[in-house]
Structure 1
Amino acid sequence: MKRLLGTFIIFLLVLSGCSNSVSTKNEQTSDGSKKLEIVTTFYPMYYFAQKVAGSSANVELLIPNGVEPHDWEPTAKDMAKIQDADMFIYNSRYFETWTEKVLKSINDSNLKVIEASKGIELMDALEADEEEEKHSEHTSSKDPHVWLSPVLAKHEVDNIAKALDQADPNNKDQFEKNATALKSQLSNLDRLYKETIDKAQKKEFVTQHAAFGYLAKQYGLKQIPIAGLSPDVEPTLGKLAELTELTKKENVKIIYFEELTSSKVAQTLANEIGAKTEVLNPLEGLTKDEQEKGLDYIDVMKKNLESLKLSILE
């Protein structure tokens, strides 16, 4: 009897979930057409897509904020969300490394798949991380962190807007208007970075992992990463000793860490050279504090610039 009751309850929950899904699927835009269902991978992709789509589409975030996305893998439920969507937006196969395998397993020829970084010439991992040893596992990889350059972020916005225009021509004018407004904000952000960094007395900044290669290249800075492209890979003792010597020589006062991963290595190096630690957010997901304060991509990028000032303006 208990087993039958349990089965009945599960059935009702599934039925309720399906009902909710159907009602969401049938949402309409102001002109009466069906809203696009868009699934995005991690925060920057969600932010760009949501800003361009506005109220004319339902945009969902797959990797929750507060979760470090480098090693995240989708569950069966996540794969179902992708399959049920009209459009799937991700940054790059070099960041969301699971996408190729998942997309091959999805049986839906109607799903529009958008690689937002398409058309951007990605840097080799060694170019992004000059301190990386030549026999590293990343020698044949690419640096996917393009969203941290406001200039390259505009390219990703263009790719997303173009895909939305094609998927829902009835709302093309709205998508293009929203994309233009977002790109204007990104241009202002680019101008703010350029004007600030043009006054820099120092060009070097030390980061927990090599996420800021494109930002550094865009504005003539030099990133010195403790670890490589993955924040989970800790440096060898030899590499740490080299960094200690280098940062002492460069008179580094700030070691940057990120809040979604352990700051242990950054703190160790800071203690070794008598430096302070500060947050430099790679925007791979908003922290709980940032969410509670209502901060978004633009806000966090401005906070990053304020944090960078501590290293480059003396």
Structure 2
Amino acid sequence: MIIIKKNLKFTFCALAVTALVSAVVLSGCSGNTAAPGASDTEPVSNTAAVSRDEESTGAASPESEEFSAEIEAEDTDGQKLKVMASFYPMYDFAVKIGGDKAEVTDMVPAGTEPHDWEPAATDIKNLEEADLFVYSGAGMEHWADDVLASLETKRLVSAEASAGLTLRPGHSHDEEEHEGAEEHAEEEEHDRGQFDPHVWLSPVNAKKEMENIKNAYVKADPDNKDYYEDNYKTYAVRFDELDQEYKDTLSALPGKSIVVSHEAFGYLCDTYGLTQMGIAGLSPDTEPDPARMAEIIDFVKTNHVKVIFFEELVSPKVAETIAAETGARTRVLNPLEGLSDEELKNGADYFTVMEDNLKQLKAALE
């Protein structure tokens, strides 16, 4: 088609030259000066007509079609999965698996204790618009089942990271000691869960949680399966190394008993042969009654406990009281339920916190 147009242009140009020569000859004979102007416009008019013909077809050139396709492909490839994570460990694991393929949001703000946190209307809206929701389960997110049931979206993939794990029973020490007291039952409302939810504090369990999160990514975005699989394999090795480091370090220490702010370390203790005594139960916001305080103090003295552990997101007041009563020291043992803004800015993550926890345990048990 392009060749035909070029030939047409050539023909019109030839006609124009012929007409011009004729006009010159005629003007030489008759002295008429108007003819050259008239014949000059004719080839321009015909050429313009051909150009309008090209435009009227509406056909894009192959080059422009390829350019548009490239832009569309880049836009599609640039889209990231929108991932919502229920609290810090789930956020950290989701970031590590999703990499540059995901935009991950931690629903619980930095520095917030997650046990009593509940989603606001904006959080529900974000879940409606998300591709993937990652939560630990086992009762940690007491709001999750009701919220998921209320969502209208059909595309959301949800991942209960603790699925498939063997869970510890969720009864609290206080419920055993004061089973019949209504007032105490109200105080222990947050220990109402059937299971202990703190599964991530055992590196063995945390590895399984990350695997479940990886599987959810693959379900939500199968085109990038290999990418997510490779990321998981990288961190699976790190979990194995961390597990071995805990085994080697803790097995060599004489002390086996720890006192903690709340009973978050049951899975860790079960894995590495330790015993925990919690000042509070499975939720950190319950204070011990005098009978419980006496029991804890007796435990500290009997087992020669040198350190009373507390958490940065919980008041250390009770831990300090017990330490003063028994001559013990206080240290931080992080349950990884949430990190502060400062910790996040300094690059802390699951592995760095668990490494620091091991150092704290070593100092307390040696």
Instruction: Give TM-score scaled by structure 2 length.
Output: 0.74
What is the 5 A alignment of 1:65-214? 65-126=110-171, 133=176, 135=179, 137=188, 138=191, 141-214=194-267
Residue equivalent to 1:217: 270
8 Å Cα contact 2:138/2:195 also seen in 1: no
C-alpha deviation, 1:28, in angstroms = 8.7
Q: 2:300 aligns with which of 247, 258, 276?
A: 247
8 Å Cα contact 1:28/1:34 also seen in 2: no
C-alpha deviation, 1:33, in angstroms = 6.5
8 Å Cα contact 2:135/2:161 also seen in 1: yes
Q: 1:37 aligns with which of 76, 79, 82?
A: 82
Aligned pair count reads 285
Q: Which amino acid aligns with 2:229?
A: E
C-alpha deviation, 1:90, in angstroms = 0.5
Greater alpha carbon shift after TM alignment, 213-222 vs 108-117:
108-117
Query: Deviation string for 1:234-253 (max 9, x for gaps)?
Result: 11111101111221121211
8 Å Cα contact 1:123/1:143 also seen in 2: yes
How many Å separate the matches in 1 of 2:193 and 2:225? 39
Cα separation, partners in 2 of 1:28 and 1:296, compared to 1, 3 Å: farther
How many Å separate the matches in 2 of 1:292 and 1:33? 27
**Structure with the larger helix share:** 2
C-alpha deviation, 1:133, in angstroms = 2.2
Secondary structure of 1:59's aligned partner: strand
Q: Which amino acid aligns with 1:74?
A: P
Residue 230 in structure 1 maps to residue 283 in structure 2 = yes
Residue 58 in structure 1 maps to residue 103 in structure 2 = yes
How many Å separate the matches in 1 of 2:363 and 2:138? 34
C-alpha deviation, 1:31, in angstroms = 7.6
C-alpha deviation, 1:292, in angstroms = 2.9
8 Å Cα contact 2:111/2:339 also seen in 1: yes
How many Å separate the matches in 2 of 1:279 and 1:237? 24
C-alpha deviation, 1:287, in angstroms = 1.9
C-alpha deviation, 1:305, in angstroms = 0.3
Residue 272 in structure 1 maps to residue 315 in structure 2 = no
* Unmatched 5+ stretches in structure 1: 1-26
Residue equivalent to 1:6: none
| RMSD of Structure 2 on Structure 1 (CA) | 1.9
Cα separation, partners in 2 of 1:28 and 1:258, compared to 1, 3 Å: farther
Cα separation, partners in 2 of 1:142 and 1:60, compared to 1, 3 Å: same
C-alpha deviation, 1:130, in angstroms = 5.7
C-alpha deviation, 1:285, in angstroms = 0.8
Query: Deviation string for 1:268-308 (max 9, x for gaps)?
Result: 11111111100000001112331232111100000000000
Cα separation, partners in 2 of 1:29 and 1:232, compared to 1, 3 Å: farther
Q: Which amino acid aligns with 2:311?
A: E
Instruction: Give TM-score scaled by structure 1 length.
Output: 0.86
8 Å Cα contact 1:28/1:35 also seen in 2: no
How many Å separate the matches in 1 of 2:333 and 2:95? 24
C-alpha deviation, 1:193, in angstroms = 0.5
Residue equivalent to 1:294: 347
* Unmatched 5+ stretches in structure 2: 1-71, 180-184
Larger Rg: 2
8 Å Cα contact 1:131/1:224 also seen in 2: no
Percent identity between matched residues is 46
Higher relative contact order structure (alpha carbons within 8 Å, sequence separation ≥ 6): 1
C-alpha deviation, 1:203, in angstroms = 0.6
C-alpha deviation, 1:35, in angstroms = 2.0
